[in-house]
Amino acid sequence: MTFEQFVRERGPGLRAALVAAYGPQIGLDAASEALAYGWEQWARLRTMENPAGYLFRVGQSAARELMREPPSFPVPSGQALPEFEPGLLPALAALTEHQRVCVVLVHGYSWPIVEVARLLDVTHATARTHLQRGMAHLRIALEVHRAD
């Protein structure tokens, strides 16, 4: 696989995961740094079984250098998302990094949990637990109840 193919196929997911973890501003910067590193090191990375997972960790390191505050997500206008629950974003920001990544990738971008686990270098069971815990925290914070 060429680096260009890799970026085309895996780049969006890498960006999504880092945005989920660190918010759009730092997440996108971290994704850029990770991909730049990937370009430089592609000869080595392409032999790996999961270069996306490796670059996610590169992005994590870059983001943690930049992080000074908890991640922040822009608030949509009332016109853009009229029914939007304003408490959702601070509740998301309060999750742990892995919980937030799992929640956003699974429920925000419809990733299968197995793919999230792959990116995070964790087992399916661990990713599922992060997801369940993240969703449980959000439900408590937002007083979500089951429709039935």
Name residues contacting another protein, limited to 65-124 (CB under 8 A).
65, 73-74, 76, 80-81, 83-85, 88-89, 96, 98, 103-105, 107-112, 114-115, 118, 120-123
Q: What whole-number distance in Å separates Cα of residue 76 and Cα of residue 112? A: 26
- Binding test (CB under 8 A) with another protein, winner from 4, 9, 39, 78: 9
In the complex with another protein, the residue whose CB is nearer, 36 or 50, is 50
- Binding test (CB under 8 A) with another protein, winner from 54, 71, 95, 101: 54
- Binding test (CB under 8 A) with another protein, winner from 3, 22, 38, 60: 60
For residue 71, is it left (φ>0), alpha (ψ between -120 and 50) or beta? beta
Q: What angle do CA 65, 56, 13 make, to 5 degrees?
A: 125
